[in-house]
Amino acid sequence: MNNTALAGIRVLDMTHVQAGPSASQLLAWLGADVLKVESPSGDVTRKQLLDIPGVDGLYFNMMNCNKRSIVVDMKSADGKTVFTELLQKCDIIIENFGPGVLERLGFSWNTIHKINPSIIMGSIKGFGASGPYSHFKAYDNISQAMGGSMSTTGFNNCDPVVTGSQVGDIGSGLHLIIGILAALQARSNTGKGQYVEVAMMDAVMNFCRIKFRDHQRLAQGPLPEYMAPTGGITAAPRSGNESGGSNLGNALKCKPGGANDYIYVVVQDAVWHKLATLVGGTQLANDVRFSTLNSRNKNQLEMWDMLEAFTSNYTKYEVMEFLNKLDVPCGPVMSTEDLVNDEHVKLREMIVSLDHPQRGSWFNVGMPIKLSNSYVKISPPPLLGEHTNEILRDVLEWNDEQIKSYNK
C-alpha cells in the first residue's frame, strides 16, 4: 500500500531548467507520480554545463529525481493527441514556459480547463500574466534585481549583489507548490480545478518582506540597528551581514583565516553578560558602552572588533562549541565542502548518494520537508524518454500497435 502524502496524484510536468522542475520534484518527493513531458531534444539542462561528455548534466539531474520521462513533440499532431490524453489522466499540470508559448501551441488555460475541468494548472512566469512587465523574459538574477533582493544585498557603498541561493527560481517553485496544494484541497470540496500563478518577481518580494518593514520605518528616522548611517535615505539600505532584527548579528573571522573561516553570532540581551565575560572578563561585561541594546547599537563597531579579537584565535567549530554552551545563537559559515562532509547534514539525509546508469555515483540535495508517516525514497532522474512506452501503455492504456505507430 502506497501511504505517501500525494499517493494517487498524477502530475503532468511541462517545466524546464530550474524554477518549475524544482517544484515538480518536490511533488514527486511527496509521493506524486510526475510525468516529465520533454521535446525530442529534451530539457535544455540535460546538455548544459556538462562535466562528463555525453552524460546528462548535474543541472538536470538535481532537479528531476523521482520523475518519469515521456517524449512528446508538441508541434506534431500525434504529440498533441498524446498531450490531450495525458491532460485527461492527470490531476495537475505545471509549466514555466515563456509568455504565450502554450497558447501558441493551442493549449491556453481555458482550453486545458475544458479538456479536464478538475485539473489544476500551476504556472511560473517572470512577472505574471498581467501588468506592464508580463511579457518580459526573466531569469533568477533578473527577478532578484527587480524584486528588491539585489538592492538590499551586499555592503553599504558597494555594488548591488545577487544572493548565492536561487531565491527567484527555487523560491518561486516553493510558492507554486503552496498554491497547488491549496488548490488540491479546494478541489476536494468543489470538484473543480483552478489556475495557480506565481511570478518570480512576486516571490522575491515576499522574501524581502523585512526590507519593506525597514523601508517604512525610515519615514520615522534613522534605523539604529544598522552600522552604516541611514539618516536621510528613502529606501531600505544594503545591510551586509547585519541581522536585520532587534538583536545585533555579524560574521566574525576565525582561525586559520580562510575564505569561509567565519562564524555568525547574534548578540541577545539575555546572553550579553555571559558572552562578554567569556571574551573580555568582568571588565567588558560591566562596560557601559555595551551593557544595553541601545548602547551596543551606538558602539557596535567597537563591540564587533572586541568579539572578533577573541574568535580569530579559534576555529569556527571551536567558537561554535564555546558559544553554544552559553546559549549564544551562532553558526559557522559552512561552505559546500563543509556541508557535504557534515555529520548532521548526513543524518538529516540532506545529502543523498545516488547511482545513475550513465554517470555512476553522484549526490543530490535531499528532501527538506520531513513527514513522519509519508517517506519517499529518492531515486535517480530519468533518461530522455525512458518511460515513454510505459506511460503510453499504463497511463493512456494504448495497445502495442498504437505505441509502435507513435514511436515511428
Boundary-marking domain end, from 278, 299, 332: 332
Residue 257 pLDDT? 97
Do both 28 and 175 map to the same domain? yes
Residue 298 pLDDT? 93
Do both 320 and 365 map to the same domain? no
Report the catalytic residues. 169
Residue 207 pLDDT? 97
> What's the rounded Cα separation, in Å, for the pair 253 and 244?
20
- From the list 120, 123, 100, the residue with the least C-alpha distance to 112 is 120
Flag residues of the chain having pLDDT under 50.
Answer: none
What's the number of domains the chain is made of? Answer: 2
Residue 165 pLDDT? 95
Do both 26 and 96 map to the same domain? yes
Do both 23 and 136 map to the same domain? yes
Residue 222 lies in a domain: no
Do both 60 and 192 map to the same domain? yes
Residue 276 pLDDT? 97
Residue 59 lies in a domain: yes
Do both 295 and 172 map to the same domain? no
Do both 150 and 24 map to the same domain? yes
Do both 328 and 354 map to the same domain? no
Do both 401 and 269 map to the same domain? no
Beta-strand (E) ranges in 4-86?
A: 10-13, 33-38, 67-71
Residue 237 lies in a domain: no
Boundary-marking domain end, from 311, 332, 353: 332
Residue 234 lies in a domain: no
Residue 336 pLDDT? 97
Written as nine digits, the cell of 114 is 475544458
Under a CB-based contact definition with an 8 Å cutoff, are residues 395 and 11 in contact? Answer: no
Do both 14 and 121 map to the same domain? yes
Written as nine digits, the cell of 41 is 531534444
Beta bridge partners of 33: 10
Residue 1 pLDDT? 59
Calculate the CA 74 to chain-centre distance: 29
Do both 310 and 347 map to the same domain? no
Residue 34 lies in a domain: yes
**Dihedrals φ, ψ of 169, to 5°?**
-75, -65
> What's the rounded Cα separation, in Å, for the pair 262 and 256?
10
Beta bridge partners of 164: none
Cis ω for the linkage preceding 256 (within 30 of 0): yes
What percent of the chain is modeled with pLDDT above 70? 100
Half-sphere exposure in the Cβ direction for 157 (13 Å, CA): 4
Boundary-marking domain end, from 290, 311, 332: 332
Residue 287 lies in a domain: yes
Residue 5 lies in a domain: no
The model's pLDDT over 394-404, given as tens digits with 9 standing for 90+, comes to 999 999 999 99
> What's the rounded Cα separation, in Å, for the pair 366 and 345?
10
Provide the domain limits for residue 277. 244-253+262-332
Residue 213 lies in a domain: no
> What's the rounded Cα separation, in Å, for the pair 15 and 121?
12
Residue 98 pLDDT? 87
- The CATH number linked to 374 is 3.40.50.10540
- The CATH number linked to 299 is 3.30.1540.10
Residue 334 pLDDT? 98
> What's the rounded Cα separation, in Å, for the pair 52 and 63?
18
Do both 51 and 187 map to the same domain? yes
